Structure 1
Amino acid sequence: MQIVSPVSRTDYRLEDCGDGEKLERFGPYLTIRPEPNATWARSEPLEKWIQRAHLYYQAGKGQGVPGREDSGTWKKLKNVPRVWNIQYKDLFTLQVGPTAYKHVGVFPEQACNWDFIYDKTEQVKKQLTKTGGNASDAVPWVLNLFAYTGAASLAAKAAGAEVVHLDAVRQVITWSRKNMELSGMTGIRWAVEDALTFVEREVRRGNKYHGIVLDPPTYGYGPKGERWKLEEGIHALLEGCSRILEKESAFLVLNLYTPGYTATKAGHLIKEFFPGKGKLTMGQPSLEDAYGKRLSLGAFARLEL
């Protein structure tokens, strides 16, 4: 199993973490946010964090309660714009800013997967080009499910893919579109839809993809009230994905943040629906702070065909 940290994050840095919180720099602005995985002591005292930070998300009474984990409020410590932009390498631009929850519009630990998606998309495109045929046949198609604000979609698009970006929240799609425009890109296809419903329809239509990215939440609702619970829906979703992923020159990335779903379990899920196929890699995305403490966040499994 791999413990993977992003190689390049010039507009982001984990400054410090501990005592259930993390101090992060997004471009020129610093935030303090809850982090349950930071179970050790912080390296700098909280007072110094507060002196440095621009925004402090203070958890409410619902912290740790199922369905209310993100309850709390942002406290402005210094002047800071409502939103601002950060750059990822020379690939794309992301708009960030405090949301109604503790999130800011990006999960920096996922940069290791953005790199993987970019590299694999480029590789698939070269493989398709070698097979000949029409120029349109050499363009990989990538499906991003539970796509949030679209960093993975932008990574695939930057590498030359046709991208279908799906999320159940219309406001998030609007944010994703803004990120595409800030990055100087066009042509991403947007879908405000329930992920399982969409995949089942693609199966019936016979559509295929060279790349599929899944980042399913523990629970949630589709735009028409469709109920999603990971332990109940993940098997049907992966079964559908196994039927719409190309048999070769293809890849799949499964991200999981749900407690109890380890990298090993993510790998077992992939093996169940893609038995004996391709190269399987399992691991944990992580971030290293300025003091050398490593913060692991979630789990992933990657399949390469």
Structure 2
Amino acid sequence: MRMATDWQDYELIDTGGGEKLERWGKVILRRPDPQIIWPLTRETHEWKNADGHYFRSSSGGGQWQFKKDLPERWTIGYGPLKFHIRPTNFKHTGLFPEQAVNWSWMMDRIRNAGRPIRVLNLFAYTGGATVAAASAGAEVCHVDAAKGMVQWAKENAQLSGLDSAPIRYITDDVFKFVQREQRRGRQYEAIIMDPPSYGRGPNGEMWKLEENLYPFLESCRTILSDKPLFVLVNSYTTGLSPTVLRNLLHMAIGRKFGGKLDCGEIGLPITASGLTLPCGIYGRWESED
């Protein structure tokens, strides 16, 4: 497992009873997590007095309850990268801190490439990977179907001092966008994707990971340059094995370009217990040179 251990502004304080207690800057939030099936050892003062607590509803969804007035959003940093944090009505905060382990990896690859790198970030959400890649000197194309998430990504780039960085923001269905890039003859040295288990595009297009991921990877292969640098796939789909992801990347990318594969879990250290919270899987293909 690869661990995101370099945070200063984020901490996974404790876990148990289906919930996690986290510090986002100076704000303490308490949220449910389906992976946490072990009991809570002790509900401390910090648990009881979290600034915000997300409660699930028996009818679906849920809502936040706050102990005090919080700003609508606030900022945290990961090295030179800055991000707006905001508790949303679907329990998320706009950032997945475990992805920092991938940000550091891709920034290192881009900086050491010794050549211009064009990055395509698909299902790009609020732009954590976009900001990381642009900060390392890449030209980035950021694509997400949700207009609000694309705007959030722009704000994160501005926070990180990347207003004038070569970032192109696209609100579109990612499958259709890749097909158009094929017709245009555009190519990229690196592709990042964080596909959902299920999803809908802006015009009702359906996405189902088990059915669509492999053909989508094949489509992405056609827009890789002759000297690709890396392909990174993240997944939070329950039950999907890192070995399955390795097989998909080998068949779709490795058989043409060679290179090497690294697939596994990512996670976060839990301060109170010393345990680890698993937070999905990753698959990395990268060139040998």
Same fold (TM over 0.5): yes
Distance in 2, Cα, partners of 1:30 & 1:81: 13
CA distance in 1: counterparts of 2:175 and 2:112, whole angstroms: 28
**Worse-superposed segment, 219-228 or 146-155:** 219-228
* Aligned equivalent of 1:173, options 128, 136, 150: 150
* Contact 1:142–1:162 (8 Å) recurs in 2: yes
CA distance in 1, matches of 2:110, 2:41: 39
Which residues of 2 match residues 100-139 of structure 1 at below 5 A? 100-124=89-113, 126=114, 128=115, 139=116
Q: Distance in 2 between matches of 1:44 and 1:151?
A: 34
* Residue matched to 2:285: 303
User: In terms of mean alpha carbon deviation, does 266-275 or 280-289 score higher?
Assistant: 266-275
Matches within 5 A, 1:54-65: 54-62=51-59
What is the aligned partner in structure 1 of residue 119 from structure 2? 142
1:288 aligns with 2:269: yes
Q: SS state of the match for residue 225, structure 1?
A: coil
Query: CA separation in 2, counterparts of 1:199 and 1:205?
Result: 10
Q: CA contact under 8 A between 1:12 and 1:26: conserved in structure 2?
A: yes
3-state SS of paired residue (1:114)? helix
- Aligned-residue Cα RMSD (Å) equals 1.3
Q: Matched residue of 1:31: which SS?
A: strand
Aligned residue among 235, 241, 249 for 1:262: 241
TM superposition shift of 1:268: 1.1
SS at match of 2:177: helix
Quote how far apart the aligned CAs of 1:47 are. 5.8
Q: What is the letter of the counterpart of residue 76 of structure 2?
A: I
Counterpart for residue 75 of structure 2:
85
Q: Look up the equivalent residue of 2:282 and give its one-letter code.
A: F
1:248 shift after superposition: 2.6
Shift in Å, 1:46: 6.0
SS class of match (2:69): coil
Gaps of 5+ in 2: none
One-letter code aligned to 2:140: V
Q: Following the alignment from structure 2 to structure 1, what is the Cα–Cα distance between the partners of residues 189 and 112?
A: 11
State whether residues 4 and 268 of structure 2, in contact with CA within 8 Å, keep that contact through their aligned partners in structure 1.
yes
- On the 8 A contact 2:12/2:22 being kept in 1, the answer is yes
1:19, distance to aligned residue in structure 2 (A): 1.2
Which of 213, 222, 230 is 2:192 aligned to?
213
**3-state DSSP of counterpart to 1:217:** coil
Q: Distance in 2 between matches of 1:294 and 1:39?
A: 13
Aligned length: 282
Alignment of 1:145-294 (within 5 A): 145-186=122-163, 187-276=166-255, 277-290=258-271, 291-294=273-276
**Does structure 1 retain, via aligned residues, the 8 Å contact 2:94–2:126?**
yes
TM-score normalised according to structure 2 size:
0.94
Rounded Cα–Cα distance in structure 1 between residues aligned with 2:42 and 2:141: 43
Instruction: Return 5+ residue gaps in structure 1 as ranges.
Output: 63-67, 129-138
Question: Which amino acid is 1:253 matched to?
Answer: L
Letter paired with 1:280: L
Q: Which residue of structure 2 aligns with residue 76 of structure 1?
A: 66
Helix, strand or coil at the partner of 2:155: helix
Q: SS state of the match for residue 198, structure 1?
A: helix
- 1:48 shift after superposition: 4.2
- Residue type at the aligned position of 1:218: S
- Give the one of 8, 11, 33 matched to 2:9: 11
Compared with structure 1, are the counterparts of its residues 5 and 282 closer, same or farther at alpha carbon in structure 2 (3 Å cutoff)?
Answer: same
Q: Deviations over 1:157-189 (max 9, x none)?
A: 001011000000001111111111111112310
Contact 1:85/1:94, CA 8 A, preserved across alignment: yes
* Paired-residue identity, %: 40
